[in-house]
Amino acid sequence: MSFEELGKKVSESAPLLVRLDDCMNRIGKMCKEGRPPKMTIPCQWNDDDIFIVATIKEAVEQLRALDGVLVSVNESNEITCKVCGRGLGANPPRQ
C-alpha cells in the first residue's frame, strides 16, 4: 500500500483535531518510554510513523490553504477582511 493510500486511511480514521491530539499523545508516550515509533512490516495506517506524518502533512496543507484567505494586509499594514472588504474590527452596517 502506498503512503498516499495509508494517509487516506489515516484521514478517514478521525477528524483532524482529534488526530493531532493523538499525535501529541503518541509522541509523548514515545519520549516517556524512550522508544522509537511503533512500526510494522508491511506498513499499516495506524503505525506511529505513518499516522503522525500523514496527520501533520494534512494539517500543514490545510493551514497553507487558509493562509491569506480571510484577511489581507496592504502596503500600509492595514488589515482587511477578504469576505466583506472592511477593515479589521469594523462592524457591518445594521439593517
Residue 49 lies in a domain: yes
pLDDT, tens only, 10-23: 999 999 999 999 99
Q: Which range of residues forms the domain containing residue 38? A: 3-73
**Mean pLDDT over all residues of the chain?**
84
Q: According to the model, what pLDDT value does residue 23 have? A: 95
Tally of domains within the chain: 1
pTM for this predicted structure = 0.69
Residue 82 lies in a domain: no
Residue 87 lies in a domain: no
Residue 15 lies in a domain: yes
**DSSP letter, residue 41:** S
Vertex 79 angle, CA 74 and 84, to 5°: 110
Q: Which of 2, 27, 11 is nearest to 62 (CA)?
A: 11
User: How far apart, in whole angstroms, are the C-alpha atoms of residue 20 and residue 26?
Assistant: 10
Q: According to the model, what pLDDT value does residue 77 have? A: 67
